[in-house]
Structure 1
Amino acid sequence: MTDSKQSTVPHDDDEDAEVLTPVRPRRKGIYILPNLFTLAALFGGFYAIVMAMHGRFEQSVYGVFCAMVLDSLDGRVARMTNTQSTFGEQMDSLSDMVSFGAAPALIMYEWALQGLGKWGWFAAFVYCAGAALRLARFNTNIAVVDKRFFQGVPSPAAAALVMGLIWAMEDAGYHAPASSPGLAWLAFGFTLYAGLTMVTNAPFYSFKDISFKRSVPFVSVVAIALGIALINIDPPRVLFGLFCVYGLSGYVVYAYKRMKGKPVSVIAISTDEPDEKGLHH
């Protein structure tokens, strides 16, 4: 009579026989290192909201900007340490929704939009909804999108547009925009533009094809040094200007491709190189 578990024990005359032991399934855990960065980014968005509730809008800007830096690091850390996980991906999306969706909308409403009544919360909600829709679309299209471009402006860049305006105006001394109708409507326009641009199909360059492991010409290092020096002259205005340029770049690329008769969608339909042939028109 044989044992139902069929354990194989090597005979004395067969020293090379293998002992089969049941393989225990590996427990699915949560990787600490990349999720620490994600949680820190989430805290940055939460901190920004709390600071806005107390009228400290410049600190709110710093909180969102810190969240941007941390958000750019968690994925790289996960890939470098081979600790990618589905849990981490979902956690990153939820963190982005708070830090780059809800936080900028609420901060902008507190800073300038509440004086516009229903139009103010309309713009804030459009931004918040645009961030949610953009993140959901990104998660569902991640396998078929041309990696060189984002489909619509990414939520951190949209948050940079909104928070950059607050930073530049606060630095210039405009601490009560609710009493200035012109500035309040300017904030309304920026918030609405950022929210709607997140859900457009305009291609925004992703910078994902830039490798820091490659050698670059010496002039590139000089250009980087000059860029850092230029930003240090007046960080709020220079960075805000760069954010605005990027926020318009997708439409410029879209118009250029239209003029040249090239495909403008970033959704691939084949396994070809995502250059011209493998994309929708």
Structure 2
Amino acid sequence: MSIRPRRERGIPLRAVVPNTVTALALCSGLTAIRFAILENWEAAVLMVLAAAVLDGIDGRIARLVRAESRFGAELDSLSDAISFGVAPALILYLWSLETLGRFGWLVALIYALFCALRLARFNAQIDREHQPHKSAGFLTGVPAPAGAALALAPLYLWLSTEEPILHLPVIVAIWTTFIAILMISSIATFTPAIRLRRNVRFEAIAVLVVFVAALVSAPWPTLAVMAALYLFSIPFSVRSYRRIRQQRAAAAGSAGAPEPRAP
């Protein structure tokens, strides 16, 4: 009696929705490149931010419908590499770095390459059981969406103030390289997933409403302030993780210490 080989199952139907959201994020990143070529800087930045929003909800949708898969993780990394690596690099190059010639292109390449390396490191550590930063509730380095938002900060300020100094290629090159280094660094950064206590949820809703109102009425100054707040939070995240690591080391030392003998 011959046994028919079992067919490999494809992507389940419930995984279509989160993967579609990820594909939309990828399309947003590619559209940002198109707007940058047309020198429509506002639309280009908005497309990158739209990709960041879609990237933030596709994983939650996948967990909600129990559709997490290796395919979705690989598609998400590909989308992040385009939307938060290639797109911001080309936007900054066409906006300012192009006047530096080969050096400006080198800076754009460094940013895109470091973003890809950051994503590759993240994928390589998915199956690792021992991840000190993740187990403590932190991320390793600046994540790709936050890195893209930080890299575009000079463009936010320029769109709101039109200050010529913000458009200087040397300043943009130094800033872009600095953000690229933060992405591949091993420093601990706060995770965006925050659990609020019940007694502060109303205040959190009020803060969110104020933020959305500020984002609608004055988007570029609001984005610049948010980028500055995130950047200033990095020293606090490093100190917080160092304190947690010291507490774990002290707990491990006390647990492994031999018990005193009875007289």
**Which residue is 2:260 aligned to?**
none
Partner amino acid, structure 2, of 1:29: I
* Partner in structure 2 of residue 162 of structure 1: 151
TM-score, with structure 1 as normaliser: 0.76
Alignment of 1:260-279 (within 5 A): 263=245, 276-277=248-249
1:205 lines up with 2:190 in the alignment: yes
Pick the aligned partner of 2:180 from 192, 195, 198.
Answer: 195
Query: In the alignment, which of 13, 16, 27 is matched to residue 9 of structure 2?
Result: 27
Contact 1:152 1:204 in 2 (8 A): yes
Residue 247 (str. 1) matches residue 231 (str. 2): yes
Task: Assess if the C-alpha contact under 8 Å between 2:158 and 2:166 holds in 1.
Answer: no
Q: Pairwise mapping of residues 140-179 of structure 1 onto structure 2 (< 5 A)?
A: 140-142=124-126, 143=128, 144=131, 145-146=133-134, 148-173=137-162
Unaligned runs of 5+ in 1: 7-21, 265-274
Write the distance in 2 (CA, Å) between the matches of 1:104 and 1:81. Answer: 32
* Higher fraction of helix: 2
Deviation at 1:183, TM superposition (A): 2.3
After TM superposition, what 4+ stretches of structure 1 lie above 6 angstroms from structure 2?
none
Aligned-pair distance for 1:215? Answer: 6.8
Report what 2:119 is aligned to: 135
The size of the alignment, in residue pairs, is: 244
1:95: how far off?
Answer: 0.5
1:226 and 2:226 equivalent? no
Judge conservation of contact 1:49–1:103 (CA < 8 Å) in 2: yes
Distance 1:221 1:276 in 2: 34
Q: 1:66 aligns with which of 50, 57, 82?
A: 50
Which segment drifts farther, 138-147 or 158-167?
138-147
* Kept in 2: contact 1:168–1:237 (CA 8 A): yes
The whole-number CA distance in structure 1 between the counterparts of 2:190 and 2:49 is 20
Counterpart residue identity of residue 111, structure 2: Y
- In our comparison, the structure showing a higher alpha carbon Rg is 1
Render the CA deviation track for 1:181-228: whole Å, top value 9, x for unaligned. Answer: 97222211221111110011111101324269x674433333333343
CA-CA distance at 1:82 after TM superposition: 1.1
Select 1:102's aligned residue among 79, 82, 86. 86
Paired position in structure 2 for 1:185: 170
Quick one: distance in 2 between partners of 1:172 and 1:182? 11
> Per the alignment, in what secondary structure is the counterpart of residue 55 of structure 1?
coil
Q: Residues 237 and 27 (structure 1 numbering): CA distance in 2 closer, same or farther, change over 3 Å?
A: same
**1:29-57 CA distance string (max 9 Å, x none):** 26311111011000111001011111111
| 1:39 and 2:46 matched | no
8 Å Cα contact 1:113/1:121 also seen in 2? yes
**Distance in 1 between the 2:5 and 2:194 partners?**
40
Counterpart code for 1:197: L
Where structure 2 has 5 or more consecutive residues not aligned to the other structure, the ranges are: 251-263
**Partner SS for 1:276:** helix
Deviation at 1:173, TM superposition (A): 3.1
Q: 1:234 to 1:150 in 2, by over 3 A?
A: same
User: What's the CA shift string for 1:232-256, capped at 9, x where partnerless?
Assistant: 4522112212112213422343256
Structure 2 SS opposite 1:204: strand
Show the counterpart of 2:63: 79
Secondary structure, aligned partner of 1:198 = helix
Secondary structure class of the residue paired with 2:9: coil
Name the % identity.
33
Q: Residues 234, 182 of structure 1: CA spacing in aligned structure 2 closer, same or farther, 3 A cutoff? A: closer
